[in-house]
Amino acid sequence: MPLANTADRYFPQVLSIVRIMTALLLLQHPLSKFFAFPMAMKAPAMFSLIWFAGAIELVFGVLLLIGLFSRFSAFILSGELAFAYFIGHAPQGFFPLTNRGEAAVLFCFLFLMLAFTGGGAWSVDAMRGRK
């Protein structure tokens, strides 16, 4: 199985690419809330639930982006996105398509996967593990 062999060989690198892109996509949310980048959003009230969610996303999103404490960061983010879904989206309807919660569900399960797989070959975690 040549395709399976190639996929197995490059899995650690592709895992890093998935981790980096997922973190970059997530970071758009707190950056928009706190720094109006890449678009301006209404700034959340200090110490509100949305403010804390943004702070968690910012801190753990940056850690995940560089691959430092990848498993722990991904686990925290998975829980935060599950919480966001059930607090913000699920009350508006059962199906993620109708309650606009698709991104929260997808992020939640991507982060859950990363909590189990780790950050991949291109991460600070991987560099720290080398002698």
Digit-coded pLDDT (tens) for 3-21:
888 888 999 999 999 999 9
What's residue 131's pLDDT?
42
Mean pLDDT score, 41-58: 95
Q: Which amino acid is at 61?
A: G
DSSP-assigned states of every residue in 9-65: HHHHHHHHHHHHHHHHHHHHHHHHHHH--SS--PPPPTTSHHHHHHHHHHHHHHHHH
Q: How many domains does the chain have?
A: 1
Mean pLDDT score, 64-91: 97
Digit-coded pLDDT (tens) for 88-122:
999 999 999 999 999 999 999 999 999 999 999 99
Q: Which two tokens stand for residue 51?
A: 């403010």
Structural domain containing residue 41:
2-129
